[in-house]
Amino acid sequence: MNSKEIAKIVGVSRSTVSRVINNYPDIPEATREKVLKAIRENNYYPNSSARRLVGMKSSTLGVFVVDIKDNEKPHHVIENNEDLLYGNSYFSPFINAFIDQANKAQYYVLVSTVYSSDELWKIKSSFCEKRIDGGVIIGSKDNEYEKILEVIGKDFIIAAVDINVTEENKDKAIYINLNNYKGAFEATKYLIDLGHRDIGIITGDITKLSGSVRFESFKQALLENGIQLNEDYIAYGDFTEYSGYIGMKKILKSSRRPTAVFVCNDTMAIGAYKAIGEMGLSIPDDISVIGFDNSQISQYMYPPLTSVNVSLPEAAKLSADLLIKSIEKKELVPEVKIVDTTIVERASCKRIDN
């Protein structure tokens, strides 16, 4: 089937068929309808835009990496490199596994970044232009996610990673969350069980769910074990190497140094290691460090970093599978999945005597 044959069936010129396909405005509505009907009925797929016009599936999933910095520069710009996506230990394993899983099910993947509120339209337009059949949002804060829901409206199949599930939003998406509470509690308890009492924390971005839950859980674990949290031992990071570096420098300035620090992701632990080394201290003899996320790099750090494993590839596979399940059912099937955590012991923590 080609455009000449469609033209013949409808009784119009070939250029009229092409104008309909390319969405020209000067075609009478009745003619447009007839051409689209013939395209549909004769399974004529000249290219992706025609396919979208006739309401076919795009067989494409979207991944929206959200890192909104309206009042400051995005991390990859600050760090003067393109690390946000390519080298990022959180986004990149997620994206890789998501693409693999989607491809296995014969779906393509369209990846977009959203670095400012002005770019939220990208999400809506990907759906409205039928570029994607469903999409996953990763990296956004709860309030940004609410804005995204408002912008894109309803009737779209979306999944969200690391978002607080509420009565209001629970039916609007598929949610994939990490067991941050359990992971952070166990990490803190691990340090306590090794005899540590002076324990510091470098938090993640506490405006994001994983940042705030990991911090709250750390405080609760200390409280339940009768340990006072020293304000000097808290550094507020944002999940980047640099904030881990600055955070550890701050903590090490305390008059009485902590003997252990819970660093809320492995990326920040890289910066923390650098700060510890620059102060002439050694891990774990002078200070124990435990990370979170069990990023690929943590096994190659020196000493290898003990970390809380949370499988981002598993989160990605779940997101892709559940999106595809909804797409094939032709309606959103809201669900909440939690990816579990376990401690991976390496060499960065040691037992101390009190």
Instruction: Using CB under 6 A, list all residues that contact ligand ADE.
Output: 90, 139, 162, 204, 208, 210, 239, 265, 293
Nearer to ligand ADE (CB atom), residue 200 or residue 211? 211
Q: Which residue type is seen at 273?
A: Y
Q: How far is the CB of 213 from ligand ADE (least distance, A)?
A: 10
Q: How far is the CB of 90 from ligand ADE (least distance, A)?
A: 3
Return the number of other C-beta atoms located less than 10 Å from residue 283's C-beta. Answer: 22
How many residues are present in the chain? 354
Q: How far is the CB of 44 from ligand ADE (least distance, A)?
A: 45
Nearer to ligand ADE (CB atom), residue 107 or residue 175? 175
Nearer to ligand ADE (CB atom), residue 184 or residue 275? 184
Please state, in angstroms and rounded to a whole number, the distance separating the CA atoms of residues 50 and 52.
5
Q: How far is the CB of 59 from ligand ADE (least distance, A)?
A: 29
CB 81 within 8 A of CB 52: no
Q: Which residue type is seen at 39?
A: I
Closest of 193, 146, 190, 191 to residue 172, by C-alpha: 146
Q: How far is the CB of 208 from ligand ADE (least distance, A)?
A: 5
- List the structure tokens of 115: 């670095």
CB 305 within 8 A of CB 289: yes
Nearer to ligand ADE (CB atom), residue 162 or residue 186? 162
Helix runs in the chain, H state only: 3-10, 14-21, 29-41, 48-53, 75-78, 83-86, 91-104, 121-128, 142-152, 180-193, 209-224, 241-252, 266-278, 312-329
Please state, in angstroms and rounded to a whole number, the distance separating the CA atoms of residues 152 and 158.
10
Nearer to ligand ADE (CB atom), residue 133 or residue 293? 293
- List the structure tokens of 217: 């859980």
Q: How far is the CB of 274 from ligand ADE (least distance, A)?
A: 18
User: What DSSP line would sit under 275-343, residue for residue?
Assistant: HHHHTT--TTTT-EEEEEE--GGGGGSSSPPEEEEE-HHHHHHHHHHHHHHHHHHTS---EEEEE-EEE
Nearer to ligand ADE (CB atom), residue 83 or residue 162? 162
Residue whose Cβ sits closest to ligand ADE: 90
Q: How far is the CB of 253 from ligand ADE (least distance, A)?
A: 25
Nearer to ligand ADE (CB atom), residue 192 or residue 315? 315
Helix, strand or coil, per DSSP, at residue 93: helix
Nearer to ligand ADE (CB atom), residue 51 or residue 208? 208
Q: How far is the CB of 139 from ligand ADE (least distance, A)?
A: 5
- List the structure tokens of 136: 């996953």
Nearer to ligand ADE (CB atom), residue 204 or residue 247? 204
Q: How far is the CB of 268 from ligand ADE (least distance, A)?
A: 8
